[in-house]
Structure 1
Amino acid sequence: MTIAAATRFWDRIAERYAADPIKDMAGYERTLERTAALLKPSDSVVEIGCGTGTTALRLAPSVSRIIASDVSPAMIAIARKKAEAQGCANVTFEARAAEEPGGPAGLHDAVLAFNLLHLVADRAAVLAEAHRLLKPGRLFISKTPCLKEMNPLIRLAIPVMQLIGKAPPVDVFGAAELEAAVAAAGFTIIERGRHGSGRTDPRIFLVARRD
């Protein structure tokens, strides 16, 4: 999917996406809790693929500032309305693809990418950008659905959903492949986790330190 096509897809579903409830709220809360524990009040944080801003706004009290971006201007418009309604002043929302440069290099203490890396056309470029944005020794924190670990019937249904415009193109990989890509981008993985509430969880939570 090109950046332009991704923008059109996510713009089209932005309102519905914003209205959909989080399916595993307990798992989401565990991810938020662990992420917040890794951050400091003085930290400058970037979130790429922020959607409608829910996570950025939840983490805002834990840090100095967050710059949150998404490929969809419609998603960002919703996020800005939410920030205004909540009176949140230390989060800036920007419409920008994850692969595109997001300001000067080496200024940030953490880069977050939740439910994103399976959706981008160029995962290596996204990881390289995360590496570029971080100060040496600081953290890239991600949670990513690894579709190779999902029920094969779900994987078979994805192309049908794509044909009728109900799903974006996705990259199918396993946790080992994802970890290899993160390492190849210049990170050392220091933590792995699975925060889901079910017996199995295909969404791997990774904390990686910029070398």
Structure 2
Amino acid sequence: MENTSDKTRKYAQTTGYSLLLMALLAGYVFGYAIPKLYNFNNLQLNQSNVSSHLYNFMMLGIIMIMLLDFVVAITLYKYFKNDNNKLALWAGFLRIIYSILFCIAIFYLFQNRNELNTAVYIKNYDLFQRYWSIGLIFFGFHLLLVGILMKGHESIPAFLWLLMLMVGPTYVVIHLLKTFLPHLTNLIDILNRIFGFPMALAEIGLAVWLLVKGGKVIAIGNPNTIDKSEQFWNRVAKRTTNPSQKPNDKTLKILDSLQKHLQPNDHVMDFACGSGIISAEIAKNVNSIHGIDISSQMIEIANNRKIEQNLNNVTFSRATLFDENIQIASFDVIMAFNILHYLEDKAIFMKRINELLKPNGIFISSTIYAKQKKTILFYFFTLVNKLKIMPKINFYSSKELENNILKGNFKMIESYDISTMPERFIVVRKN
């Protein structure tokens, strides 16, 4: 079964290739074919050429653009729906309305294929422009919503979503003027000259980003990060070789807070399980536990702990959250302690966690965060980040941390400070 990250990557690629192909087709159709066929300074010659290969290629290009618009409406919705399903649905709906109006516009352009009456020929072209312009008003609102979705999708660069938020309203204004105040031709021409390039660049920029980055899983920073992170945690594991190690005071607080959220029949995942202390301590309270970690040394210690304590309902394996062997909707509870602050693209991880949980499943996290008033700890870890002596810690306020989790399609159960580090204990339920 294909997991969410694979599907999201395919939606990103499909959208990206579709947008780039549309840009190429639009360059040919609207930059070359239409100006050549609809040169009203020499209309009689143009009418004699409307059955030519140029006309046929122009219509083929327009029809392909229309079909690709429907594809993009669907794939963009699929890509962004986990960020904000309602907003993504509206964005897709508006693009479909635009595509339908574009279909109507094409119908009038098609009527000119064998039209020799000059007045009708011009009227059909004007109707094509009018319906297309009305459609582009809806298209502008579509781009505005896409810009908002891009802004909420934390891995998209700010300049791209700012560009989209600018050109969306620009489309609306220009085509409202063309539709209802067509006599303001000078103003419309000025706006097109000023914003023509940004309007073309917005979707092309999104297309390139989707092809290069969209839907890719970024573990902690760069292609070599998992290896470097494993090396770091393996070094940490060497100082934690005792499988009989007992929980410290903070871990005891976490264990105490966990109890009320666990049921005897629960199947639990311990994401970034480390040496397996928490998994071992709660094993007697649940049906089964599967602990995963990228550190082979940590997993070795965890397995030794399992053997020493004779834990028959616990398994540990070196794996990432996106391991294809992990079955979808197979866990009642997923725990992630002291890991979220190491993840750069939390949105992708939260989507994956949501995917692995059963309906109404619970996600439990305990994560350090940055208070509004900077602490000594904040400045210490800022220095550590600059020195690059351990995996990068990403600082978020408690509210930002909660929002990043809730974006994965969860609803809040509880959230409170569990230590003075500061560290936030958060429990959410899958929607």
TM-score bracket, shorter-length normalisation: 0.7 to 0.9
The reply on whether 1:154 has 2:377 as its aligned counterpart is yes
Matches within 5 A, 1:33-182: 33-101=256-324, 103-148=326-371, 151-161=374-384, 163=387, 165=389, 167-182=390-405
Distance 1:150 1:90, change over 3 A: farther
CA distance in 1, matches of 2:254, 2:268: 16
CA distance in 1, matches of 2:273, 2:372: 24
TM-score, structure 2 length as denominator?
0.44
Contact 2:331 2:358 (C-alpha < 8 Å) held by counterparts: yes
CA distance in 1, matches of 2:422, 2:324: 29
Higher strand share: 1
1:203 aligned to which of 416, 419, 423: 423
The C-alpha deviation readout for 1:90-140, integer Å capped at 9, x for no partner, is: 110011124545611112110000111001243222212211110111100
Contact 1:145 1:204 (C-alpha < 8 Å) held by counterparts: yes
The residue type paired with residue 337 of structure 2 is F
**What root-mean-square deviation, in Å, do the aligned CA atoms of Structure 1 and Structure 2 show?**
2.2
What's 2:412 paired with?
A: 189
CA distance in 1, matches of 2:352, 2:266: 18
Distance 1:194 1:156, change over 3 A: closer
TM-score, structure 1 length as denominator?
0.87
CA distance in 2, matches of 1:4, 1:136: 34
Distance 1:96 1:150, change over 3 A: farther
CA distance in 1, matches of 2:325, 2:258: 21
The residue type paired with residue 314 of structure 2 is V
CA displacement at 1:149 relative to structure 2: 5.7
Distance 1:173 1:100, change over 3 A: farther
The residue type paired with residue 406 of structure 2 is A
The residue type paired with residue 87 of structure 1 is N
CA distance in 2, matches of 1:60, 1:155: 34
What's 1:7 paired with?
A: 230
- Residue 132 of structure 1 aligns to a residue whose secondary structure is helix
CA distance in 2, matches of 1:11, 1:43: 30
Give the fraction of aligned pairs with identical amino acids, expressed as a percent: 29
Contact 1:149 1:202 (C-alpha < 8 Å) held by counterparts: no
Aligned residues: 204
Which stretch has the larger CA shift, 170-179 or 27-36?
27-36
Which stretch has the larger CA shift, 71-80 or 117-126?
117-126
The residue type paired with residue 47 of structure 1 is D
CA distance in 1, matches of 2:250, 2:278: 13
CA displacement at 1:202 relative to structure 2: 1.3
CA distance in 2, matches of 1:72, 1:147: 26
Contact 2:370 2:398 (C-alpha < 8 Å) held by counterparts: no
Which stretch has the larger CA shift, 101-110 or 74-83?
101-110
CA displacement at 1:152 relative to structure 2: 3.5
The structure, 1 or 2, with the larger RCO (C-alpha pairs under 8 Å, 6+ apart) is 1
CA displacement at 1:28 relative to structure 2: 2.3
What's 2:9 paired with?
A: none
CA distance in 1, matches of 2:425, 2:325: 23
CA distance in 2, matches of 1:84, 1:149: 44
The C-alpha deviation readout for 1:153-208, integer Å capped at 9, x for no partner, is: 3222225445373x321111111001111111000011112222xxx451111110
Contact 1:6 1:168 (C-alpha < 8 Å) held by counterparts: yes
Distance 1:157 1:34, change over 3 A: closer
Distance 1:150 1:92, change over 3 A: farther
Contact 1:195 1:205 (C-alpha < 8 Å) held by counterparts: yes
Which structure's CA Rg is the greater one?
A: 2
CA displacement at 1:210 relative to structure 2: 0.2
